[in-house]
Amino acid sequence: MKQLFLLLIAGLVMFLTTTNSFAEKYHGEFCWQVFSESGEPYWNYKLGIYEKEGGHVALYGSIDYGPNGISATHGNAVYIGDRIKFTLNSADYEEGMEVFAETFAAKLNSSTLNGTWNALTLEIFEDETFPSSVHQSGTISLIPC
């Protein structure tokens, strides 16, 4: 009986120290408006920000394309001096399009959380055989969610 009790205590200690090693801090939900180079509003991101142990930042959320719908997205971020760089990956099916896949990269000022972005999108339309690639860039601004 004593050995079983010691085994349970040892297991509990191991469990508690293991869960602490996977610690993360939820910073909340943040939203950004994405603009073209000419200032035309494109889409919005709504992202949950999770800081993992070791300074790694995970991003999970959605893109709101307005009348074109909402898609899931995920990515990560890193702090580099007074900048935050983040990359998001998204893929979805839209009506009139077979599929699209996008890699979005932004560079933000860490004090304002505003900055610039670039994206590479691959699109395959229903009436086409080969994908077309589109490069876009512009500015990105923090907005209330």
- List pLDDT tens digits, range 47-106: 999 998 887 899 999 999 887 688 999 999 999 999 999 999 998 886 666 777 899 999
Structural contact between residues 136 and 40, judged by C-beta atoms closer than 8 angstroms: no
What is the per-residue pLDDT for 18? 46
pTM summary value: 0.77
- Residue 31: band (very low, low, confident or very high) from pLDDT cuts 50, 70, 90: very high
Question: pLDDT per residue over 91-125, tens digit each?
Answer: 888 666 677 789 999 999 999 999 999 999 888 77
- Residue 16: band (very low, low, confident or very high) from pLDDT cuts 50, 70, 90: very low
For every residue of the chain, DSSP letters joined together read -HHHHHHHHHHHHHHHHHHHHT-EEEEEEEEEEEEETTS-EEEEEEEEEEEEGGG-EEEEEEEE-GGG-EEEEEEEEEEETTEEEEEEEEEEEETTEEEEEEEEEEEEETTT--EEEEEEEEEEETT-SS-EEEEEEEEEEEE--
What is the per-residue pLDDT for 109? 96
What is the per-residue pLDDT for 92? 86
